[in-house]
Amino acid sequence: MFDKLTTRHCARHRLSGIFFVFFPIVVVGFSLRVILSMLAWNDVDNGFALLGSFSWGFTQDLLYASYASVPVIIYLSITPNRLFLNKFHRIAMWLFFAFVWWTVLFGAIAEVIFWDEFGVRFNFIAVDYLIYTTEVVDNIFESYPVGPILAAIGFAALALNWLTSRLTVYQAWQRASTPFESRAKAAALILLLPVAATWFVSQHDMPSFENRYVQEIAKNGQYSFFAAFRNNELQFDEFYQTADPDDITDRVRGLVVEPESEFEAGYLTPVRRIIRNNGSELRPNVIQITVESLSAAFLGANGNTEKLTPNLDRLASESLFFSNFMATGTRTVRGMESLTLSVPPTPGRSIVKRPDNANLFSIGTVFRSKGYNTSFFYGGRGYFDNMNAFFGGNGFSIHDQASADEDSIEFTNAWGVSDEDLYGWVIDEADRMSAKDEPFYYFVMTTSNHRPYTYPEGRIDIPSHTGRSGAVKYTDYAIAKFLDEAKSKPWFENTVFVIVADHCASSAGRTELPIENYRIPLFVYAPGLIKPQKVDTLSSQIDYAPTLFRLLNWSYESEFYGKDILSMNPENGRALIGTYQSLGLFSGDLLTLLKPVGAVEAFHYEKLTGLQSPTRIDDAHRLDTIAYYQSAAAQYDDYRLNGAGTRTLAGL
């Protein structure tokens, strides 16, 4: 009798309406776990573990439901009783809860399809699909009877909601006339759950099940989806082919070792080593201009005949010019990651966009150990792509459009200020540091060579806003103007100027990782300090920092995965390139790809034509590829979990 009265009393409270959000999520969540368990039955080897996964899955469903119900809680708490009890409002609420059923059922069907392909709940691959909407939608329509499926989901949602609305608790809730004060108190109390979950609960807090299928069944797909979106990562050891960690450590050390390097014992980071160079160290300033979307194919020095880069073409003969240099990815943040951290492109999003990416071992770490000021300059607003958070969290001072004096800006577009304005900030800051007699390293990121391809008029013979060619030529013009102005400064003769691209202008091609669409230029220009030379050794952005420090003749502690390009045997050159999912090692004429779920592919590259054709997997090359990416992913996990990748085993 007491239970019936208590249930009836609760049902008459307005906020009890969130039950009709929780109920579909929990019921469908349980049913989905039953279906997934049946699909994976032959691979689930422990019934007690499966029972545990269902128990934890119920908790995951409740957490997701608490987030999903937040808009409903707010709406029900502020809606006046007069409106709530209105007949038309009741109809609207009925339709809303039918939509809740439809959404939950649609997510369940999508998860079954996703499970059938990948054997897991939603993860970063599902997030990645949002990036390639056209391809994914086309594939779905070609693979499944979408119309009948959507119609069936709609019918089921209406039927289930009709059954729910017949419950006594639903009918009692419809007549609830709860006072506002009571609604507000209840809403504040209930909202504590999602707030507490946000602060104190993480996907990483899930219990660990030995069986991967049991582990996945325990998850809530939607909760996992948003966790993946927030964390921007794809766990390497779950989705890629792996090897024994001890073998990986030995192998990756063999891949990064150099004659002057000595590995340090006792560190979790496998590539931790001391780089020793003999002789006096150079202490010049370093200004690194990272140019937006500057493909190597734009340069006359690489065979282009459009005459878009006359200044850079001349600079190539006056610089240490690397003609066979590769970007590691296809996004600005991926270029920043490799140029700054010297790590292979980890699966998922760039480390620049992930949480817990502060205090990493970076190029700035080495510069600051030598007493340098390190600063990041960006022509746009650095909150974009988490740039300011990444560089600021790793010891760089920030200079961007948001922090700039408006009087220093003459031209802006959607992406930021013109390259000329950006270089003006760099000149002013270099003057300030020089006056204080402080050496500096500047990471400068441009924006002009980007759609909408607008720039100040009258600078070049191609009108603004007419396409990529004009933006490239303006980029060339602005760099030349900057160097000419720098030559008039007292700090010029003791400054190394680096010009490198973040990635190519286009990543699309006939193959998944088209080699030629990763080739970018690298110039190191320092008259009187560094002898001009053309270097054809195959290398990539992870090799930039080690090569720069070798040119400066520095001895330092390193956690870089790259090597000094100038010390490489040209026949042993290699490049690490990737996308969000495909992770590649390219050397000689062989490209080996690691792909979810545990797939490995190999391609023969024809240099003259750029064509790639499937070929036999070379086992040694496969293991090298795994060694690079598996160890790099583990190194980042160590940073994230322990707060410092250089912590010793004894210190844990």
pLDDT at 513: 79
- 305: its two tokens: 């005949």
Please, which residues bridge with residue 348 across strands? Answer: 233
With b for 16 or more beta-carbon neighbours within 10 A and e for fewer, the 142-153 pattern comes to: eeeeeeeeeeeb
Helices (H), 412-467: 419-435
- For the chain, the structural domain boundaries read 2-231, 247-642
Residue 127's Cβ-side half-sphere holds a number of Cα atoms within 13 Å equal to 21
Distance, CA of 648 to CA of 652 (rounded, Å): 7
Does the bond joining 259 to the residue before it have cis omega, within 30 degrees of 0?
Answer: no
Domain 247-642: CATH superfamily, name plus number: Alkaline Phosphatase, subunit A (3.40.720.10)
pLDDT at 82: 92
| Sole residue written with tokens 């079954």 | 112
Is the CB of residue 583 less than 8 Å from the CB of residue 594? yes
Of 95, 97, 96, 129, the C-alpha closest to 110 is: 129
- Sequence-distant (≥ 6) Cβ neighbours of residue 568 within 8 angstroms: 537, 539
Dihedral sign computed on CA atoms, order 491, 494, 499, 502: negative
For residue 223, report the phi and psi dihedrals to the nearest 5 degrees. Answer: -65, -40
Of 335, 344, 238, the C-alpha closest to 628 is: 344
Cα pseudo-dihedral 83, 89, 90, 92, rounded to 10: -150
Please, which residues bridge with residue 599 across strands? Answer: 595
Class of residue 401 by CB neighbours under 10 A (exposed 0-12, middle 13-18, buried 19+):
buried
Of 144, 134, 107, the C-alpha closest to 122 is: 107
Of 634, 646, 632, 651, the C-alpha closest to 365 is: 646
pLDDT at 441: 98
Of 232, 180, 227, the C-alpha closest to 206 is: 227
CB count, 10 Å around CB of 197? 16
- Sequence-distant (≥ 6) Cβ neighbours of residue 360 within 8 angstroms: 341, 351, 394, 639, 645
Instruction: Report the run of H or E that residue 213 belongs to, with start and end.
Output: helix 212-217
pLDDT at 143: 61
Model's pTM, two decimal places? Answer: 0.74
Instruction: Report the run of H or E that residue 273 belongs to, with start and end.
Output: strand 273-275
Distance, CA of 441 to CA of 372 (rounded, Å): 7
Q: Which runs of E-coded beta strand occur in 474-572? A: 495-501, 519-525, 533-535, 539-540, 556-558
pLDDT at 132: 45
Flag residues of the chain having pLDDT under 50: 1-6, 132-135, 645-652
